[in-house]
Amino acid sequence: MIVPSPSSKRSIAMASKRSVAIVGAGFTGSVLAAHLLRNAEGPTTIHLIERADTLGTGLAYSTANAAHLLNVRAYNMSAFPDDPRHFLRWLWSKDDGEAVPPSGHAFVSRARYGAYIQDVLREARAEAPAHVALNTVQGEAVDLAVDDGSAPGGRKGVRLRLGTGAKLDVDAVALCVGHFPPSPPPVPAPEVFASDRFIGDPWNAAAVSAIDPDAPVLILGTGLTMVDVVLSLDNQGHRGPIVALSRRGLLPTTHVETRPFKSFVHPQVMPRTVLDVLIALKADVRRAREEGYDWRAAFDALRPYHPLIWKHLPLDERERFLRHARPYWEVHRHRMAPEVAARIDALRANGRLAVRAGRLTDLALTPDGVEATVRARGGEDGTWTRTVGVIINATGTECDYGRIRHPLMQALLRRGLARPDPLRLGLDVTEEGALIGEDGAASDRLFALGPVSRAPFWEMTAVPELRSQCANAARTLAHARPEGIASTTNVLARPRVSR
């Protein structure tokens, strides 16, 4: 439970010479707060704002379903980049830790990992020096404005407004807002989307648990979110047929234990096209197999270089990757735990789960549910229709912030304090996470971390990348003076991309 610090309805006064607000207390916000508690040099108050009643779990690790496992091995899940075995030691200290081998090649439940992040934050708070304070605030940030200090008696800073009406004045804000649910599919069916036959948020556990056990279910998407939904349905005794649909019908591949492998990448000679990257990666996979390695070893060896490769690709090549190569990349890069893959294989083998490739073209309400029309892909036969009891949208998180209706995101865009990045991967930010406004200037007070900041890096959703970003951001925020968190720079006008 969050225990809010005392505050009035109208304002929450700053308690020190420097204050930082962190909006969102999932993995990113909680780990950032832990690093700030460790590193703040001067008197600092950290306001950690979370709309849910728990800290540390966020969307990813709040599931109580023991079948929802991490899709990264335990060895890579430490919250601290300078202490890679921290999570392993935490696991080994628990009663069930003996099941985790010294190699760390184990996939524990996401709920277990959420408990770990809560302990990380709790320990950082307990061990923080006397000049650093953590103020937890349960509420939802709905508006934000920057004061440049030009008004008489004004001061430079940021004012946040919460849904309760409370206002919070701080020197800097870090947006760690995590993921937003997917937008509805692009078919004209508002009556379907407004009905209880359509579950637009695949992480709405109450809605999924209320599905009739015998109802046929159509899941839009065949990635890891679909996998979670199928496991939830199976665990609750669902008996009806399940069809998972995506444009290409690709399923995530399966993790196996791998050995270290040397990547083809040389930091001074970077590929400049997507084709160059794929050719070199395929050559590495062939070389790995010839030397007795699994193909995954070549993929894993490339991981530290993802941001560097992305940085050196021209914008049109990035667009080409997203348009053509992304689905194939993701099913090889983001894999299922072996235990999870075995359950999915079994469900497909006994006919309870079918994975189809095609494009949804129409939805219509019927007395029995929803009739879905799909144009099949490739060699499959033409068009097919199916009436299902429920449709679940598991197509992935919404990354186009121009389409997100959250009031805080809308306020940022409306006030010109932020803009979507050209490829609609998130908000436009610098590599340090500073928000880039409508005028092209990088803010010295507003930062975005986590999935919202993936534009400069391509991948910013998994723990190994997020923990390093949090550590770097904490150093910036911890060492800065209140009157200037970072130097403001102007970003060149971005080229237009047609999508």
Residue 281 has pLDDT above 80, yes or no: yes
What is the per-residue pLDDT for 498? 41
What is the per-residue pLDDT for 478? 76
Residue 144 has pLDDT above 60, yes or no: yes
199 vs 485, higher pLDDT: 199
Cα atoms in the Cβ-side hemisphere of radius 13 Å centred on 281: 23
Cα atoms in the Cβ-side hemisphere of radius 13 Å centred on 488: 12
Domains of the chain: 18-68+109-180+399-479 (3.50.50.60), 190-253+336-393 (3.50.50.60), 274-333 (no CATH)
Phi, psi of 61 (to 5 degrees): -115, 15
What is the per-residue pLDDT for 175? 97
Residue 227 has pLDDT above 90, yes or no: yes
Structure tokens at 235: 């665990």
What is the per-residue pLDDT for 389? 97
Structure tokens at 113: 């990992």
Residue 112 has pLDDT above 80, yes or no: yes
Mean pLDDT of 419-431: 95
Taking Cα atoms as reference points, which of 494, 488, 405, 414 lies closest to residue 446? Answer: 488
- Give the DSSP per-residue string, 42-78: SSEEEEEEESSS-SS-TTTT----TT-B-SS-GGG--
What is the per-residue pLDDT for 400? 93
Residue 82 has pLDDT above 80, yes or no: yes
Residue 3 has pLDDT above 70, yes or no: no
95 vs 306, higher pLDDT: 306
What is the per-residue pLDDT for 354? 97
Residue 58 has pLDDT above 70, yes or no: yes
Q: 161: part of which helix (H) or strand (E)? A: strand 156-162
What is the per-residue pLDDT for 99? 80
Mean pLDDT of 434-462: 93
Residue 396 has pLDDT above 60, yes or no: yes
What is the per-residue pLDDT for 460? 82
**Alpha-carbon torsion, ordered 69, 74, 78, 84, to 10 deg:** -170
For the chain, give the mean pLDDT.
88
404 vs 7, higher pLDDT: 404
Taking Cα atoms as reference points, which of 133, 154, 30, 73 lies closest to residue 474? Answer: 30
Q: Are 48 and 22 in contact (CB under 8 A)?
A: yes
Residue 390 has pLDDT above 90, yes or no: yes
Structure tokens at 453: 């900041």
364 vs 156, higher pLDDT: 364
Residue 433 has pLDDT above 80, yes or no: yes
Instruction: Give dist(CA 450, CA 27) in Å, integer.
Output: 9
Largest CA distance in the chain: 73
What is the per-residue pLDDT for 492? 43
Structure tokens at 305: 């270089």
Cβ burial of 160 (10 Å; 0-12, 13-18, 19+) is buried
Residue 45 has pLDDT above 60, yes or no: yes
Phi, psi of 201 (to 5 degrees): -115, 105
Alpha helices by DSSP H, listed for 428-488, are 463-479
Residue 249 has pLDDT above 60, yes or no: yes
236 vs 263, higher pLDDT: 236
pLDDT bracket for residue 9 (50, 70, 90): very low
Beta carbons within 8 Å of 453's beta carbon, 6+ residues apart: 426, 427, 429, 433, 460, 469
Mean pLDDT is lowest, of 358-362, 425-429, 480-484, for: 480-484
pLDDT bracket for residue 476 (50, 70, 90): confident
pLDDT bracket for residue 103 (50, 70, 90): confident
What is the per-residue pLDDT for 450? 93
Q: Tell me if residue 393 falls in helix, strand or coil.
A: strand
How far is CA 151 from its chain centroid? 38
Mean pLDDT is lowest, of 151-155, 169-173, 287-291, 483-487, for: 483-487
What is the per-residue pLDDT for 2? 55
Instruction: Give dist(CA 8, CA 365) in Å, integer.
Output: 48
pTM of the predicted model as reported, rounded to 2 decimal places: 0.88
What is the per-residue pLDDT for 101? 87
Mean pLDDT of 394-421: 94
